Structure formats: structure tokens, C-alpha cells
Amino acid sequence: MRTRTLAAALAVATAAAGLSLALAPTASAATSVPDDFNGDGVADLVVATPHAPVDGRVNAGSVSVLYGSPDGVSPGRSTTLTQNSPGVPGDAGSHSLFGATHASGDLDADGYADLVVGAPGEAVRYSGGYGTLTVLWGGPSGLTGDGISMVSPYAANEWMSEEDYGKKVVVADLDGDGVPQIATLSRTNLWAYDDLAGRTAPTDVARFYNYNAYIQPRTLTTADFTGAGRAQLVVTGGENCGGTTGGCQHTAVYTWSDSGLQEAWLPDPGDVSGTNEAPTVSTAAGDVDGDGYADLVTGHVPASATTTGEYSDAAGFVHVRYGSADGLGAHRTATLDAPGGRAGDNVGASVAVGDVTGDGYADVVAGAPGATVRGVPGTGAAVLLRGSATGLTETDAQVVHQATDGVPGTAETDDWFGSAVDLTDLDGDGMADVTIAAKGEDVLAGSVRDGADWVLRGSAAGLTTAGATSFSAQDVGLTAPDAEFGSVLGG
């Protein structure tokens, strides 16, 4: 959805500037659906399980692609790949965390979307470095395992070391030539690559930004926030202040230029009361007010001194910085509480942006994995906040959870429904469908973190339970308990 919004913004921007003929011809050769791996015109869903064991290696990781269709997705039309699958580069290793992040786009401009998968814990042979990216090529049969592997430029430098390369990844057209590129975060660096030259791994990075010891980059997002006809990168993370590691928040926008990545800092929204800085725990982008500029949506859960379990005891909130020609958030920002939000909800622990209702305004789904439902703590919920001409609104917000009529499953303690969310049009009807992960869902006897995913379809009225489906590890042939199946739905 992110790239489609970018394309819409690009169309508006170029129409306004009379530049429609200046677009690179390669753009028309690329697929029009950024996550359509088998080229049938319907987007596909990737759910990743970085904690999946593979052939006895713990936390090696797997990714599952479920192919979209007019009937939506089904595990019966899926492929699950690990680093031990035929063709996939590398070998499954303990704690590689293959699938900790993923992003897609047509990197080789053959009309089929390609999947980039991060394995930030993978040891790089003959190097002190950790972390790889794997590019899996799409084709008529979808993802088959055919791919290439990438490592940090520092992995080949005896004087440098790298940690967590590939912990976040995005695919976007950063230089405005119509072909998307890869950008990725490590523990201390942001790397942005040039267009791939065919199906070979890049030998050098085009642009990078190095963080000093005072900033800990955490999230990476991309979209065209300024109507420039190219995407910018947004990185958020903790920043040391007052003697506290990560006590303040850092948000920076990077624009690709001939001289490197140009950086601009943005103010942190703080928490709802405006007294403390609230960590940015999730990010997504899309045009929620339909003005042609992508908007940045961030989820914030204030840290809590009384947190004892998986989630904070804070309510959480969602913040919007509206895009404009003058820069992201230059003219307008907004903070939204989920209606009825309560302490411990953790609303904004996850966010996704997409047009659920098909009215041309992107909507937001925010996960609230800590929410208490009908007296059961930690059940979790997801909230639909609607886009409109005046921006994102709490009006007619819709809450769904496992106790909602028509949603499969049972609301249980610490299911954490909403631990991750994604919005992609998986049935091709023009309305984005939500995928909701519950990483604490227990499926097998005696386990507590088997994990599962739900898909609820978009409709003109909002999310509908008609055609709702859910699936877990066993449905795609995985058998290990407590692996948090499908807990990663994107970046």
C-alpha cells in the first residue's frame, strides 16, 4: 500500500508540474502491484516467523507467502521458505532471525514483485559482522527460493564491524528514476543502495548515514512525503539525554541527493499530556487526507516504571505528521487517542496504513495488544481510524477483537491480538484488507506463544467479518511450539 500511495502522490505531483513525460520508461515495465510476487494482479501476503526453529537450529526463522485471489488468502495457496529451502542463499543458523523484517518491490523490473528478507542475527562468514539481507525473486510461480544474499559493506572491511545489519528494510524509489531501491538499518548505520544492476548483489552502497553512540535507530519507513517524485526515508529511535540511554526520542527524515543523504530532524510529539517523550514503537505511511502527499503515522507507547510483562501499562497513542511540499509535518500534526482507550492497551504498538473503505483516503489500523476485552487482560484488539479530507479522525472508529462476532478464535489472556498489523488488498477489490497477528495465541497443548494471524476484509463500511479467516503454523506445515508464528508482517 505504501508504494501505491507513493505512485498516487507521484501522479498528482507530476500532473501538477506537467512532467508526466519525464518519467523513466522502466516504470511502466514494472509491476503495478508492489507485493504481487506471482504477477496475477492481486497482492500477496507475507507473514514471517523469525523465531521458527529450522532443522534443529533455534530462532533460525522462516517466511510464508500466501497468494492473494478474488477469494482472499488461504494457507492452501502458500509457500514457506527458510534458508535451508532449495535455492535460498545461505544456511539456516541458530539465532539468525530470518524474517525479522521484510519488504517488497520489483527490484529487477521484470513485472514480478521481489521480497527482501532481513536476518539480522546471521553470522557473516570470515567476518566479524552479523546480519544479511536475502532478495527472493518473484516469477509466474511466485517465490520459489531463487535469490541472492547481501551483507553489510563493513563485513568486508577488516577495520570495521557491523551488528544487526538488516534489522529493518524498505524498498522504495529513492532517486526518482522509477526503479525501487533497498534501504536497511543496522545497529549503527542506515544504508541506502542504488538500483540493482540485474540479479546481482550490489558491491557497494550508494549512500549511508552513521549514528553516533547517542542514537539507537529503531524504525525505518519510506514514502514520498513532499511530492518530490521520490521517496524519503524516516528513521526513529532512542536518543540519550539526561544521563539516560534512549531517554529522549530521535526522528529524522533523509532525502537522497548527489552528495549523500540529506538529514532533517523532526520534533517528537511527546506523550498525550505533553510531559514526557514517548518512544516511537511503530511507523507506517500513506495519504490519510488525500492531498497527494504521503503522511507519516507513528505509534507511541510511553515507557512505564511499573511494566512487568510483555507490554507497558500505558494506553498509547497514534501521531500523524502530514506531508507537504515544505516537508513532513511542516504545517500540520495531530495526536489521536483511541476512543475508550485505557491504561495498558498499548494502542499504537503496531500501525498500518491503507484504504480500507475504498473512498480514496487511506485509513489506519492500530494494534492494541495489551487491551483487556470483556475482563480478560492482554487479549488485545485492533482499532480502525478513518482517513478523511480533514485528516485522520477518531469519528466512527471501529474496534475488532477475538470476541467480536464473526472473528474466529477465543479471547484469552495474553493472546496479544494486534501485536502486528498489515493493510494490503488481498482480494483485489480495491479495498485494503487487514492482517492482524496475535503472537501470544496458544494453539498447541502446553505452549503459550504459538502465534496466529487473522485476515478481515475491507468494505465501504469498514472492516467486515464476512470472509474472515485465521491460520497458524500448522496450516503452513510448521510444527514447533512457541515460535510466535506470523508475528512479523512487514518492517
Beta strands in 54-180 (DSSP E): 62-66, 78-81, 101-105, 114-123, 130-136, 147-151, 168-172
Q: Order of strands, edge to edge, in the sheet holding 62-66?
A: 45-49, 62-66, 78-81
Question: Residue 372 CB, nearest distance to Ca ion (Å)?
Answer: 30
Instruction: List the x/- string, 66-85, binding to Ca ion by CB under 5 A.
Output: --x-----------------
Residue 36 is a binding residue for Ca ion (CB under 5 A): yes
Question: Residue 36 CB, nearest distance to Ca ion (Å)?
Answer: 4
49 near 64, Cβ under 8 Å? yes
Question: Residue 113 CB, nearest distance to Ca ion (Å)?
Answer: 6
Residues in the chain: 491
Which is nearer to Ca ion, 246 or 458 (by Cβ)? 458
Which is nearer to Ca ion, 271 or 289 (by Cβ)? 289
Among positions 7, 24, 40, 327, the unique one binding Ca ion when judged by CB under 5 A: 40
Instruction: Compute how many residues bind Ca ion; rule: CB under 5 A.
Output: 24
295 near 320, Cβ under 8 Å? yes
Which is nearer to Ca ion, 2 or 218 (by Cβ)? 2
Among positions 277, 414, 427, 441, the unique one binding Ca ion when judged by CB under 5 A: 427
Calpha distance 153→155 (Å, rounded): 5
Residue 437 vs residues 222, 240, 286, 340, 434: alpha-carbon distances, Å: 22, 32, 21, 22, 10
Among positions 79, 93, 98, 112, the unique one binding Ca ion when judged by CB under 5 A: 112
CA dihedral 176, 177, 178, 180 (to 10 degrees): -80
Instruction: List the x/- string, 284-323, binding to Ca ion by CB under 5 A.
Output: ---x-x-x-x-x---------------------------x
Instruction: List the x/- string, 120-149, binding to Ca ion by CB under 5 A.
Output: ------------------x-----------
**Sign of the dihedral defined by the CA atoms of residues 50, 54, 60, 64, in that order:** negative
Beta carbons within 10 angstroms of residue 106's beta carbon: 28
Which is nearer to Ca ion, 303 or 325 (by Cβ)? 325
Among positions 108, 173, 195, 363, the unique one binding Ca ion when judged by CB under 5 A: 108
Question: Residue 474 CB, nearest distance to Ca ion (Å)?
Answer: 24
Which is nearer to Ca ion, 224 or 345 (by Cβ)? 224
Select the span of 14-22, 351-359, 429-437, 443-451 touching Ca ion (CB under 5 A): 429-437
**What backbone phi and psi angles, to 5 degrees, belong to 55?**
50, 45
Which is nearer to Ca ion, 130 or 225 (by Cβ)? 225
> What HEC string does 385-449 produce?
EECCCCCCEEEEEEEECCCCCCCCCCCCCCCCEEEEEEEECCCCCCCCEEEEEECCCCCCCCCCC
Residues that bind Ca ion (CB under 5 A): 36, 38, 40, 42, 44, 68, 106, 108, 110, 112, 114, 138, 287, 289, 291, 293, 295, 323, 425, 427, 429, 431, 433, 458
